Structure 1
Amino acid sequence: MITIKTTEALAAFCERATRHPYVTVDTEFLRERTYYSQLCLVQLAVPGDAEEDAVLVDPLAKGIDLAPLYALFKDESVVKVFHAARQDLEIFYIEGGVIPHPLFDTQVAAMVCGFGEQVGYETLVRKIAHESLDKTSRFTDWSRRPLTPAQEKYALADVTHLRVIYEYLRDELAKSGRKPWVEEEMKILTSPSTYVIEPENAWMRIKTRTTSGKFLAAVKELARFREGYAQSRNIPRNRVFKDDALSELASTKPRTEKDLSRSRLLLREARRGEIAEGILKAIEIAGDYAPEDMPKPDTSRDKLQVNPALADMLRVLLKAKSDSLGVAQKLIATTADLDMIAAGRRDVNALKGWRAEAFGNDALRMCQGELGLVARGQKIEVFEL
């Protein structure tokens, strides 16, 4: 088992990887105590059975520079293969300002190839590679050195079996003609906007029941302060204050530190110092919002005039299409998509791109009274009206 701890050794492996059609990639990281993930290990493998074809890269090794890896990620001749890539890609974008391309996510591909909703790596290893995984090292502390042999074995398995899984799914997509479907999904994963949280927009993540403009203005400014504070100090946002405390502050609108001391939900360390100052300043700014500048909740779904019978028929159609195509329902359309279609909306993801081919075009024809459904035994079939 090879562990790379120098820039020179990493450059040598990455140069050799450029001679192969693909490289499989995985990471181990910690995020419990930081805002951004702490990269602790990178696993890489190229096609082949030799020991040097699969390596561990120690990003915590003294003096190592990951620039050769980032150069490999930019090489258009080599497909970068991940499973459930989103968190890994976020790390590489934040750490190195790079998003691997071209990209292949085996979780997305497996959903297109009939392996169900959000299929796990362990399941694919069992069903495609016909191997089993020892998951006992999954939740260990990957920042501690030295790594144990069990940790190293576990980590390497995440990229060695991935070679078999990738080649199988790649060939299945070629046979089915659905490679463009997966490529369309990869455009979302490779967009930098997927991984950037702007403090200005952080309030949109907060779930509230109140639609008052003054309340939402306070929510927006408190969320903006919290996100910026957490990012600048690389601490989890909940370490600043939690969502329930944020909602409480937006309701009570404290003006002084004495007011903060009366909070039921605010952490003790947030009632004084920089955090307290930030909270009070946020409330002050929110109080100066002009009526026309106050945030407005998204009420578009509340105004939907959903035809419930049509929505139910669309759900049955989705299941029929999912079953016949062998594509996970969740990947094709969400419940919200179906409700919007049944309400007459046409700016819906399920009606665009490959989803239109798989489901959306027939959904529109059903809405127009051109298609019907019939039960034949255990199956639902679509027929022309």
Structure 2
Amino acid sequence: MLTITTTEALETFCNEARKHPYVTVDTEFLRERTYYSKLCLVQLAMPGTSDDEGCLVDPLVEGMSLEPLYDLFRDTSVVKVFHAARQDIEIFQVDAGVIPTPLFDTQVASMVCGFGEQVGYDTLVRKITKAEIDKSSRFTDWSRRPLSDAQKSYALADVTHLRQVYEFLSKKLKDAGREHWVAEEMKILNSPETYITKPDDAWKRVKTRNTSPRFLAIVRELAKFRESYAQGKNIPRNRVYKDDALVELAATKPKDHSDLGRSRLLLREARKGEIAEGILKAVSTGRDCPEADLPKLERSSREKKQVNPALADLLRVLLKAKTNSVGVASKLVAPASDLDAIASGARDVSALQGWRFEVFGEDALLLCEGKIALGAKGSDVKLVRL
């Protein structure tokens, strides 16, 4: 099993990979103790039927540069194949500002090809290749060295089986004329904006029952400080303070260190130093926020959009019928929020654009306009033109 520990060896492998139409890629990383993922291993495989065309790249070796790999990622003549690519690509985007292009995500492709919603890699391998993956090394600490033979075999299997999965799905997409469906989905993964977490928006992820604009202003400032601090120190945001402590602070509005000391939920480390000062400043900023700048929580989609519940239910039936007929995962075509939006009169939703319009959107609009009806014939739902 080839394990690459020098930049020169990586360059040799990547130059060879450029001679092929695609290369499969996976990573192993840790994120429990850091804000950003720590890359611990990269797995690569060229087309073939054995492990000999694959390799493991150790980025933790001193003096190792991944620039030859990034050059391969920039080579548009070679398709880079991942499964559930988002976290892998985020690592390369954050570390080097590189997004592999062109990109193919087998999880997205499998949803287009009728394998269900967000199917796991193990399941996909079993269904397509009939192989079983040894899961004994799944919870490995990939930062520790040396790696055992079992760990290396497990890691390499993530890209060797992926070759057959890719070739199967790629052919199925081509035969069905759905290649452009997956290409549209890849635009999101190819956008650098997908991998940017903005501290100004961090408050929107905090769950709270209190919707007072002044309270939310303090939540916003506390979440913004926490996100910025965690990014700067490269530590998990919950190591700064957890959501329940954040909500408590927004409610108690501490003015000084003595008030912080009375918090029930705040970590001891957060009651002093930079974090304590940041908390007090954030609370003060939120408390003094001008009325015009106060945030507001969006109302629920049904409340805000005045959804016609009967029409929304009909759209759900239509979606199920249409996706069943073409073998595509329903949630990939239209999540519940899109259906509610359409039922309320909105037309600027993803379900009414691109390939989704072909599959579902066109008939959804006809249903809303009263130009088609739904009927049942046995276990099938039929569309009736009016």
What's the TM-score once normalised by structure 1's chain length? 0.98
- Once the two structures are superposed, residues 244-283 of structure 1 have per-residue CA deviations (whole angstroms, 9 ceiling, x without a partner) of 1111111111011111111111111111111111100111
Structure 2 portions without partners, runs of 5+ = none
Give the alignment of 1:24-35 within 5 angstroms. 24-35=24-35
* CA deviation profile, 1:35-92 (whole Å, cap 9, x unmatched): 0011000000001245541000000011100000011001000000000000000011
Distance in 2 (CA, whole Å) between partners of 1:125 and 1:355 is 27
Q: Displacement, 1:293?
A: 1.0
Q: Do residues 360 (structure 1) and 361 (structure 2) align? A: yes
- Give the residue type in structure 1 aligned to 2:186: M
- Equivalent AA in structure 1 for residue 366 of structure 2: R
Asked if 1:98 corresponds to 2:98, the answer is yes
User: Secondary structure of 1:303's partner?
Assistant: helix
Letter matched to residue 115 of structure 2: F
Q: Distance in 2 between matches of 1:49 and 1:336?
A: 43
Structure 2 distance, partners of 1:231, 1:354, is: 37
Sequence identity (%): 66
For the residues of structure 1 that align with 2:304 and 2:117, how far apart are their CA atoms? 30
Q: Report the secondary structure of 1:20's partner residue.
A: coil
Distance in 1 between the 2:383 and 2:28 partners? Answer: 46
Corresponding letter in the other structure for 2:59: P
Alpha-carbon distance between aligned partners in 2 of 1:291 and 1:85, rounded to the nearest angstrom: 42
What amino acid is aligned across from residue 37 of structure 1 in structure 2?
S
Counterpart in 1 of 2:327?
A: 326
**Residue 294 of structure 1 corresponds to which residue in structure 2?**
294
Letter in 1 for 2:171: D
Match of 1:310 in 2: 311
Deviation at 1:300, TM superposition (A): 6.7
Cross-structure match for 2:343 = 342
The secondary structure found in structure 2 opposite 1:155 is helix
- Counterpart Cα distance in 1 of 2:51 and 2:242: 47
Q: Secondary structure at the match of 1:81?
A: strand
- Code of the aligned partner of 1:250: A
Could you tell me which amino acid in structure 2 is paired with residue 273 of structure 1? G
Inter-partner Cα distance in structure 1 for 2:354 and 2:50: 41
1:177 aligns with 2:180: no
Q: Equivalents in 1 of 2:284, 2:315: separation in Å?
A: 48
For 2:17, the equivalent position in structure 1 comes to 17
Q: Which residue number corresponds to residue 107 of structure 1?
A: 107
Matched, 1:87 2:95: no
Q: How big is the shift at 1:305?
A: 1.2
Deviations 1:167-202 (A, max 9, x none): 010000001111111000000011111111111221
Q: Root-mean-square deviation (CA), in Å?
A: 1.0
1:355 deviates by 0.8
Cα distance between partner residues in 2 of 1:306 and 1:8 = 60
1:128 is the counterpart of 2:128: yes
**Cα separation, 1, equivalents of 2:77 and 2:252:** 57
Instruction: Say which SS state the counterpart of residue 133 (structure 1) adopts.
Output: coil
User: For the structure 1 residues 156 and 58, does the alpha-carbon distance in structure 2 shift closer, same or farther, using more than 3 Å as the test?
Assistant: same
1:210 Cα deviation from its structure 2 partner = 2.1
Structure 1 equivalent of residue 220 of structure 2: 220
1:209, 1:353 → 2: CA distance? 37
Map 1:178-217 → 2, pairs under 5 A: 178-217=178-217
Q: Deviations over 1:219-255 (max 9, x none)?
A: 1111111001101111000000011111111111101
For residues 244 and 358 of structure 2, the distance between their equivalents in structure 1, rounded to whole angstroms, comes to 43
Partner deviation per Cα, 1:91-118 (whole Å, 9 max, x = no partner): 1111111010100000000000000011
Distance 2:51 2:226 in 1: 47
**Higher mean displacement: 228-237 or 300-309:** 300-309
Q: How does 1:266-285 map to 2 (within 5 A)?
A: 266-285=266-285
Q: CA deviation at 1:209?
A: 2.2
In the alignment, the residues of structure 2 paired with residue 336 and residue 177 of structure 1 have an alpha-carbon distance, to the nearest angstrom, of 28
1:2 alignment counterpart: 2
Q: Distance in 1 between the 2:50 and 2:358 partners? A: 43
CA distance in 1, matches of 2:364, 2:314: 9
SS at match of 2:304: coil
- Partner SS for 1:119: coil
1:121-175 per-residue CA deviation (whole Å, 9 max, x = no partner) reads 1111111111110011011110010001110000000000000000010000001
AA in 1 matched with 2:262: R
Q: AA paired with 1:53?
A: E
Contact map agreement 2:50 2:160 (CA 8 A) in 1:
no
Per-residue deviation at 1:207?
Answer: 2.0
Whether the 8 Å CA contact 2:129–2:165 is kept in 1: the answer is yes
How far apart, in 2, do the equivalents of 1:50 and 1:114 lie?
28
Alignment of 1:126-165 (within 5 A): 126-165=126-165
Structure 1 unaligned spans of 5+: none
Instruction: Give the match for residue 48 of structure 1.
Output: 48
The CA distance in 2 between the partners of 1:14 and 1:207, in whole Å, is 46
Give secondary structure in 2 for the equivalent of 1:382: strand
On the 8 A contact 2:51/2:160 being kept in 1, the answer is: no
